[in-house]
Amino acid sequence: MMPPPANVEETRREAGLQPAQPARERFAHAWRLSTRYFVSEDWKAAWCLLIAYAAISFGGVYTFILSNHWQRDFFDSIEQRQSSLFVTLIFTFLMIAALQVAFVLANNLVSWTLSMRWRNWLTNWYMDRWFARDRFYEIDRLRMIDNPDQRIAEDIKAFTNVTQGNSLVGIAVGIIGSLISAVSFGYILLQTSSAIVVPVAGYEIALPGGDLIWFAIVYVLFGSVVITWIGRPFIRRRMREQHYEADFRTNLIHVRRNGEQIAFSRTQDMERRGLQGSFANIRRNWYRLMWANIGLSAGSSIYDRVMGVIPLFLTVPKFFAGQISFGQVMASRDAFTQFSSSLSYFVQVYPGLAQQIANINRLKALDDSIDNERPRGIDFRPGEAGEGVAIHVQNLELRRPNGESLIALADWVVRNGERWVIEGPSGSGKTTLLRAIAGLWPDGAGQVAMTRHGTAMLVPQRLYLPLGSLKNAICFPDRAEDHDDATVAALLEKVRLATHIDDMHQLRMWQDELSPGEQQRVALARILLQRPTLLVLDEATSALDADNAAYFYEAVRAAMPDATIVSVVHNEKLAAYHTHRLLVHDRQATMSTIETET
């Protein structure tokens, strides 16, 4: 099961436990999110594609007007039995149809291109900020929001998807096109509309326009209010669906990545129950979403059906009275539908708009979590340690995120060439101390200064192996091309992984294929290749047997005799490879010298 998110403001807001932010702030964020790409370094392509997309959309409106005129002439020619016009009207229809197809193809080409370029830029922008200042680590450490990866992958994709017309840009262009369409088809309706006269205090006041136009306006206003009221639960349900689906996928990935441990511990039933619980949230929300969607779909369907018959009720009596032609009846019906559709554009895009509001809310939560940097209690100063000093800690107090104290360390100096072992019971804060040394732990007080010379490498208990070949994993963070095969093969031989030499270029999931002990030997190969001047080891030999663990330290000491080493170990025999000890106990740290064999 996914652990519950931290009790922070945005998480509570998304869960419905805290009032939503003011609409003005939400709108301002949506505006910034929508316009940022169009003032970016790719602004020329962005504006060219946007103008082309708008022009094509307006051209599509023009083809509808041409089609409406053709429909009136066609039915009039049938009513008047003008066979001589039939062939001409057929060719006219084919040309209009070809024009419509051309606009559809051009719309697909431009909208797809705009969507991908926009998504590419926005995704890179979010990833740059997500990785900056280790925000990805801080967000996950504090559980500030759920599934930031899903927001970057899915919500940005949906937000920039102009191809379906549901993006805010597509909706904005659609609104302008609807206004143009409303004016154009409103003019057509005037030709078959009757004036409406309203008696007021003994006077007769003629309303501008005609009955068809006013009926359309009243009908659209009524329908918009009803559809908005019906669709209110849809936004909330859609947003919760995204949360639950993302959690379920994360739990499935967790089972896949830990399949061996689950199989060994025989906890399949427990994991299945956890997945069933995650899916139960999806199922419950799905039924609520289904009823919300049924209400919205029913309202929209009734709205569209009634829209198609209202103009017939108003124009057929005029046709029977000989006031208009049959072609005008059909053209008026089409014009009324187009006019009403233009005015009711908001009703039509409401489901898509609801989806976009959910996307924008989730992206705003991601923005807030990226921008909401907690004040650093620990002053981390890389490159400011004194001459001959690798690490200098002053008045350090480590705390958990909830404020609970972990370690108090008044003054600790690690000089160049010294080898320190950090010991203490599990949970005493040894790994947290290493995180503070690396600048990854801001909770607490005091100062940490790091060496101004050389290079540093931190090796965690569970080594990170990037996707790709085994050679990539050994050379990381360098490129594999920066080191020749012979060097890497020699390292594999040296760290007792010679059986993998022939496979070093194969692309595999090495994180899953190599045992924990083999991964720690890969870490040794990486150390021997990079040869850092400062090496920080966090239980880097915990998965190795006694012989291989000793060999690990012997190989490091032989290859880098002048390197500064700080390591966390639980095996007392490994302390002999160090010169100093830092013992953590009862939230205090004491320092001593280790007698080494000559």
- pLDDT band for 10, please (50, 70, 90 cuts): low
Q: How many residues does the chain have?
A: 598
Q: What is the pLDDT of residues 197-246, one digit of tens each?
A: 556 666 655 555 566 777 777 877 887 777 777 777 776 777 778 778 87
Coil/strand/helix, residue 208: coil
- Per the prediction, the chain carries an average pLDDT of 82
- 194-323 folds as ABC transporter transmembrane region fold (1.20.1560)
Residue 561: the pLDDT is 92
pLDDT at 253 over 60: yes
Beta strands in 4-131, from DSSP E residues, in sequence order: none
Residue 6: the pLDDT is 44
Inter-CA distances, 282 with 241, 244, 296, Å = 6, 6, 20
- pLDDT band for 556, please (50, 70, 90 cuts): very high
What is the residue extent of each domain of the chain? 21-192, 194-323, 379-465+514-593
Which pair of tokens denotes residue 398? 């480590």
Q: What is the pLDDT of residues 447-475, one digit of tens each?
A: 999 888 888 899 988 888 887 899 999 99
Torsion, CA 23, CA 27, CA 33, CA 34, rounded to 10: 150
Q: What is the mean pLDDT of residues 385-407?
A: 88
Residue 501: the pLDDT is 92
More confidently predicted of 39 and 67: 39
Q: What is the mean pLDDT of residues 399-409?
A: 86
Residue 3: the pLDDT is 41
Q: What is the pLDDT of residues 306-332, one digit of tens each?
A: 777 777 777 777 777 777 777 667 767
Strands 468-469 and 507-508: antiparallel
DSSP assigned state of 541: T
CATH number of 379-465+514-593: 3.40.50.300
CA pair distance 189, 337, nearest whole angstrom: 10
Residue 4: the pLDDT is 45
